[in-house]
Structure 1
Amino acid sequence: MDSALIAAYRGTDYRVRLTSGGFASIRVDAPVPAPLSSLIGPHSWAFITAWNPGSRARPRDQNHVAQQDLLAALRKLPSTLTIHPAVGVGEDWREPSFFVVGPGLAETDVLAQQFQQNAYIHGLADGYARLRLTSGEPPRGQAG
């Protein structure tokens, strides 16, 4: 994976829809925004999508089907506590996503690889958001 793609992931605004309206933005290597802390509690969390596998544009209808499949897979995880609608917003793109409280790295790695995602964002409790690269074997932690 090239450094420009990693920089794009790092520069993305990861927006989580709040039940009270509006959204909270997650940024890589920054603390989780206060509005999300109460949703997370002491749990792990992930920000993940099924859109545009391998970071290659794909038709909207195919992305939509994959996103619905991801939602079904997330709902089957025994550790998933809550799923919130979200969107990743880059310089010239938007990808519907999910902010999921509960799954551990192993579970999320499997889903990211199943849906051919190069990376996702994760964290523990209200700590820092981290970029996790999953396009290699095995998944690697924080991207440099």
Structure 2
Amino acid sequence: MRASLAAAYRRTDYEVAGAVARIGRRNAAVDALLRRLGTRQGAFTTAWNPFSRKMPRGWNERMQARLREATRRLPMAEGWGRGRGWAEHSLLIATDPRRAAVLARRFRQNAIVLLRIGAPARLLTVVRMSPPQAGLGHLPGWQVRMTDDLRRSPFARSRQVHGGTVGAWAFPPMGCRGA
């Protein structure tokens, strides 16, 4: 992911039900919202503007409806991601990071925002690779990475998963690593 795009993700406010998540920051309102959804973790994701390519509003709304349908059995809340001149509908989905990463890949997103009670929001990038490269984990043609150093996190309890060491969140058979 280009540095300018990663910076844009970091400048964006991810808002739902009055709670605003920002990359690298913890927010008590976000923690309370996760509790109301009955979960300890979740992810902000969208189906708008795949791979950060601006698409017509009608197309984006149809794709967002498909995302909503794909997650209909999960607790969720509707919100917005708002950056400088860029706003997208988003969903805060009560799910584990692995499932969120699969949704991101399915709806062609560059990244999602992971949330966990008591921890700062994290940007998780889903990187397209050609050909697939070795890493702690990958799907054919895809690799999932955390954008910050997990070793500094209070949740950085590494463990072995499918032969790879991963940090706070395990993505079997995918992994995460500091970028």
Q: Do both proteins adopt the same fold according to a TM-score greater than 0.5, normalized to the shorter chain?
A: yes
Instruction: Report the equivalent of 2:23.
Output: 28
AA of the residue aligned to 2:48: W
Matches of 2:127 and 2:45 in 1, distance apart? Answer: 14
Higher-Rg member (1/2): 2
Structure 2 counterparts to residues 111-122 of structure 1, below 5 A:
111-122=103-114
- Where does structure 1 differ by over 6 angstroms across 4 or more consecutive aligned residues? none
For this pair of structures, how many residues does the alignment match? 133
**Structure 2 residue ranges without an equivalent (≥5):** 129-141, 149-178
AA of the residue aligned to 1:14: Y
Matches of 1:126 and 1:70 in 2, distance apart? Answer: 27
Q: Deviations over 1:56-100 (max 9, x none)?
A: 100111100000000011124xxx3x2111100010111010112
Deviation of residue 27 (structure 1)? 0.4
Deviation of residue 44 (structure 1)? 1.1
Matches of 1:113 and 1:141 in 2, distance apart? Answer: 15
Deviation of residue 36 (structure 1)? 2.6
Matched-pair identity in %: 35
AA of the residue aligned to 1:84: A
SS in structure 1 at match of 2:109: coil
Of Structure 1 and Structure 2, which has the larger fraction of its residues in helix? 1
**Structure 1 residue ranges without an equivalent (≥5):** 18-22
Deviation of residue 35 (structure 1)? 2.2
- Which of 100, 119, 124 does residue 127 from structure 1 map onto? 119
Q: Does 1:57 align with 2:51?
A: no
- Which of 142, 147, 159 does residue 142 from structure 1 map onto? 147
Deviation of residue 126 (structure 1)? 3.1
Structure 2 counterparts to residues 1-144 of structure 1, below 5 A:
1-17=1-17, 23-31=18-26, 33-41=27-35, 43-76=40-73, 80=74, 82-101=75-94, 103-136=95-128, 137-142=142-147, 144=179
